[in-house]
A and B are shown apart, each in its own frame.
Chain A
Amino acid sequence: GQNIDQPTEMTATEGAIVQINCTYQTSGFNGLFWYQQHAGEAPTFLSYNVLDGLEEKGRFSSFLSRSKGYSYLLLKELQMKDSASYLCAVMDSNYQLIWGAGTKLIIKP
């Protein structure tokens, strides 16, 4: 079957760095997405990786290793507003998104 694994919850301190990992097993691969979702709101797009390596976008970076079925989202200089759930999703061979359960990130002052 298809499976996306990510930690349920993480805690970090304001100003610090946090890495959220995602491992996947899917039928085919057409890219991996990271979304941010604040409580009660819809997801917002953060990043898309389809080739191996690191994609940097401001304070957020996303890494992909297709051979390992692994990705991480790196958040630097954490701010209180970064408290949210972070969803990892993989697009399979049918171009359908397979969603992880999300990682709730708690930022403490």
Chain B
Amino acid sequence: GAVVSQHPSWVICKSGTSVKIECRSLDFQATTMFWYRQFPKQSLMLMATSNEGSKATYEQGVEKDKFLINHASLTLSTLTVTSAHPEDSSFYICSASSREVEQYFGPGTRLTVT
């Protein structure tokens, strides 16, 4: 089956620093990648959708200058949280899809900002 990896699986950083999260599709080419954020006991919240080689489309309320998304290839997308603050602490999950309807999820990255 389709496998999506994320790195790192968890990260702790200091307030004001930036953190980069990688999302890779290991055995298929992902034409579209999605970035979600999930706070405890809440559902997934879509942050942005990115297509390879083009700018990401951000959901309303998500600051594109704070959450930088790069989808440089058909197997890699990165999310950079710039100038992180404690309220950015969350579970960040990426998913990837090819031409199929289904999205394949990565294992998630738990970010803690101190």
**CA A30 – CA B103 in complex, angstroms?**
13
Chain A 82-109 interface 0/1 with B at a Cβ cutoff of 8 Å (1 = within): 0000010001000111011110000000
Chain B 12-55 interface 0/1 with A at a Cβ cutoff of 8 Å (1 = within): 00000000000000000000001000000011111001000000
Q: Which of A35, A41, A42, A99 lies at the interface centre, i.e. has the most chain B CB atoms within 10 A of its CB?
A: A42
Contact B101 A48 (CB under 8 A): yes
Query: Distance in Å from the Cβ of B21 to the closest Cβ of chain A?
Result: 13
Contact A43-B44, Cβ < 8 Å, known A31-B101, A95-B101, A97-B103: yes
Chain A contact residues, majority secondary structure = loop
Judge whether A44 is part of the interface by a CB distance below 8 angstroms: yes
Chain B 79-111 interface 0/1 with A at a Cβ cutoff of 8 Å (1 = within): 000000000000101000000011111111010
Chain B 60-89 interface 0/1 with A at a Cβ cutoff of 8 Å (1 = within): 000000000000000000000000000000
- By beta carbon, the residue of chain A nearest B91 is A40
Contact A101 B103 (CB under 8 A): no
**CA A52 – CA B95 in complex, angstroms?**
27
Contact B110 A101 (CB under 8 A): no
**CA A42 – CA B104 in complex, angstroms?**
10
| Residue from B46, B101, B105 within 8 A of A42 (CB atoms) | B105
Which B residues fall within an 8 A CB radius of A? 34, 42-46, 49, 91, 93, 101-108, 110
Which A residues fall within an 8 A CB radius of B? 30-31, 33, 35, 40-45, 48, 50, 87, 91, 95-97, 99-102
27 inter-chain pairs at a CB distance below 8 angstroms, sorted by A residue, are: A31-B101, A35-B105, A40-B91, A40-B108, A41-B107, A42-B93, A42-B106, A42-B107, A43-B44, A43-B93, A44-B105, A45-B102, A45-B104, A45-B105, A50-B101, A87-B43, A87-B44, A95-B101, A96-B49, A97-B103, A99-B43, A99-B44, A99-B45, A100-B43, A101-B42, A101-B43, A102-B43
